[in-house]
A and B are shown apart, each in its own frame.
Chain A
Amino acid sequence: MSAAEPTRRDFLYIATGTVGAVGAAAVAWPMISQMNPDASTIAAGAPIEVDLGPVAEGQVIKVFWRSKPIFIGHRSKKEIEEAQKIDPKTLPDPQPDSARVKPGHDQWLVLIGICTHLGCIPLAHQGEYDGFFCPCHGSQYDTSGRIRRGPAPANLAVPPYEFVSDTKIRIG
């Protein structure tokens, strides 16, 4: 038996094993991918338009986009002031109010209504900061939706949206 013999044999084994492993990975891919959102779910997640006309000052309405509750709040003067006067540096998740609303539309607060702690829906106009209070583990958010106290690590998220007109927004 020549010295080259074992090498050639090993090469064949390695090649077969590698091709087999590649095949197994290729088979695994569709089985993993199928659990991602399907085409109809993705299509249903298209942007939605919301008419702000009927939302009175001081009112918070809830709409659904991509199966998530979206809070749309029409803030009063007082609420805006409260949100603006606090120094963001003192906050757990520092962010000025201006970064959370659209310029020129200070009165409109649009938030994803999901507590950043573990996903419960906070209640509007409750808690010590006049904003939102999460009943699950007591997180408190202010009138800008920023976390002030409690276990939640971050401010309520702002969804992607834009003003189509003064009284209409498109979310998504």
Chain B
Amino acid sequence: MSGPSTYQPNNAFLKWFEARLPLGGLIHSSFVVYPTPRNLNYWWTFGAILSFMLGAQIVTGIILTMHYTPHVDMAFNSVEHIMRDVNYGWLLRYLHSNGASMFFVAVYIHMFRGLYYGSYKEPREVLWILGVIIYLLMMATGFLGYTLPWGQMSFWGATVITNFFSAIPLVGESIVTWLWGGYAVGNPTLQRFFSLHYLLPFVIAGVVVLHVWALHVVGQNNPVGIDPKSGQDTVPFTPHATIKDGFMVALFCLFFAWFVFYIPNYLGHADNYTQANPGVTPAHIVPEWYYLPFYAILRAIPNKLAGVIAMFGSILILAFLPWLDTSRVKSATFRPLYKQFFWVFVLVCLGLGYLGSRPAEGGYVIAARILTAYYFIHFLIVLPLLGLIETPRPLPNSISESVLKKAAVLLAIGIGAASLLVMTPSAFAQGHDTPHPPRNKWSFAGGFGKFDEAQLQRGFKVYKEVCQNCHGLSLLSFRNLADPGGPGFTPAQVQTIAADYKIQDGPNDQGEMFERNGRPADRFPPPTTWKNEAQARALYNGTVPPDMSVLAKARSYERGFPWFLLDALPFLQYQEHGVDYIVALLKGYKDKPPEGVTIPQGGYYNEYFPGHSIAMPPPLTDGRVDYTDGSPATVDQYARDVAAFMMWTAEPHLEARKRIGFQVMIFLLIFAGLMYFTKKKVWRDVHAH
């Protein structure tokens, strides 16, 4: 649709350049005078939002690469190094990790918009298929990226996903070994995943160019689905579409910033703050939210190969959509029946997403099977049939239509009710015997939360006098104790604290290792009661006391529906699962297990510990630590103080994050407001006619 350019530069140099490479003309015809249908609604701005997100991911990704080390021994710590030491590293990493989710939010809206308005239909088939390719590449990129922090979910996610290929008959095993570069996911896997994770976004950018090119050849679809007939039906891309897109990008950034600054770990998994351990699988493996519907389809099918085929099929079927949908009318606005089935399909996808996050047991599996079946029925039966029976508007309503319309509504209700019915009992059955930790009041909770310095200092005292014999604090340096937004020790106090510790150093001139007093730049030394994990296991009933540096983020508990949704909302946001769990655990010891529960030799009964048998003896007793500030020397107070201290060690820039977050929110509100009024001004003349 981009006709011959009318671009005529006045500047002599630009003229000279244009005659040799008509770059200006290309830009002018594609992004300035390009005619865009005047009736596009805001759902059409997600293409611009996606371009913006791709750019943002590439920029933040390139920056993270400057600080990240792709090695199994160093990857986890290098990410923590970014979070702690690199200037604004926490911001850049949260932008990138949440940016991936935002990218998928935008792509799903973009895809459903395409489905609703029939944007895949003739002549836009190639445009649509390029989109499906971009989506597949995005999924691959997201998966590869998720392995890089080398947490437990990274490792086990990589193991599970690469094992998809083992379902291929005969050569499956060899393919998986080839993917891994070893006999299991390991260092070669991490390094190649890193390389590919860096490569694929540029491949995506390339396909995006084709996607946009194809778009500019066939022209944009629009809510009515009828091709623009004359110049009156269109407006020039710039300024009209540009400013509208810009306004929506600003709004989207507001949404994005909410996640980055206030609930940055909401979309992640606590388990991924535990370093990868090839010997222990987390209790419950869940992929990132954007894969959940497909994960549900995979697990719904009891046969390995069939499950994998169904899962890939559910994505690939999208590429055949232009031919599966037999209706010649594009927009759902004029397809009364399709509109109903479209919304049923949206609900089915959301339902599959929810089921993908549940354990694969009982009613969940049955519900997942029903929805999986419907997913394919939608594409293979509903869409082809609808085109044949449906009478598009504005033709008068026919009998068949009203019948089918009712059928669709009934079907939606039926599927919803059936899924709820099978899910509910299992949800209750799931209400296992581990109670939810009670919620505590935390000074650092909420949008303006700040750490309580005195509490952090007390918590440090508890750590020093109770925890540190067995639990390391390996990611923390003494100097951090004086960092802004922390316990507020003075540099002189930090010197004294550090000098109290013995640090291994060396070799000296004689080639011998020696011990010296700690300095502020040193990390906390490892625990003294055990030298290596094997010894720890021998001493502590087969367990290794976990390092406490990021423990407050590595622990969580299931809030369940609908609470987990409310937890993400402004003013209701809840991010303190980890600390609440730690407090509950520290206070959750019972001298005698309840009737019928036996605790194995060497274990202690704890109400909040999964499985109830914990190897750590009750660490706190009233009066064990002397408080000098008059706070009660009780287990309850100790537990809350040490948990707050652990929250700080896990998220040392929490205060800066919330402070900058507030500034960003205010800025974006003002900017979005200005963009809105600018947009109104620009469009006034168009709307006037």
Chain A residues within CB distance 8 Å of chain B: 9, 12-13, 15-16, 19-20, 22-23, 26, 30-31, 33-36, 38-41, 43-44, 46, 54
Contact = CB atoms under 8 A, between A and B. Distances in A.
Contacts of B668: 23
B555 interface: no
A19 B89 contact: no
The 5 closest A-B pairs by CB, nearest first: A30-B88, A43-B521, A38-B85, A16-B674, A39-B85
A35 B66 contact: yes
A35 to B, nearest CB: 7
B176 interface: no
Chain A CB count within 10 A is highest, among B66, B87, B509, B670, for B87
B520 A34 contact: no
Interface string B642-683: 000000000000000000000000011011001101100100
Interface in B76-90: 81, 84-89
A16 B682 CA distance: 13
Contacts of B520: 43, 46
A22 B674 CA distance: 13
Contacts of B674: 12, 15-16, 19
Contacts of A33: 87-88
Nearest to A39: B85
A60 to B, nearest CB: 16
A13 B679 CA distance: 10
Contact of B677 (A12, A31, A34, A43): A12
Nearest to B480: A39
A34 B86 contact: yes
A12 B239 CA distance: 14
Nearest to B670: A19
Q: How big is the B interface, by class?
A: 20 to 34
Nearest to A9: B681
Contacts of B675: 16
Interface secondary structure of B, over-half rule: helix
Nearest to B519: A46
B539 interface: no
A118 B197 CA distance: 37
B342 to A, nearest CB: 36
Contacts of A34: 63, 66-67, 86-89, 92
A44 B671 contact: no
Interface in B482-533: 483, 509, 519-521
Nearest to A20: B671
Contacts of A26: 667
Nearest to B483: A39
A19 B670 CA distance: 8
A16 B667 CA distance: 12
Contacts of B681: 9, 12-13
Contacts of A22: 667
A12 B670 CA distance: 12
B678 A31 contact: no
B479 interface: yes
B63 A44 contact: no
B63 A31 contact: yes
Contacts of B670: 19
Nearest to B60: A31
Contact of A43 (B89, B91, B479, B509): B479
B477 interface: yes
Nearest to A41: B85
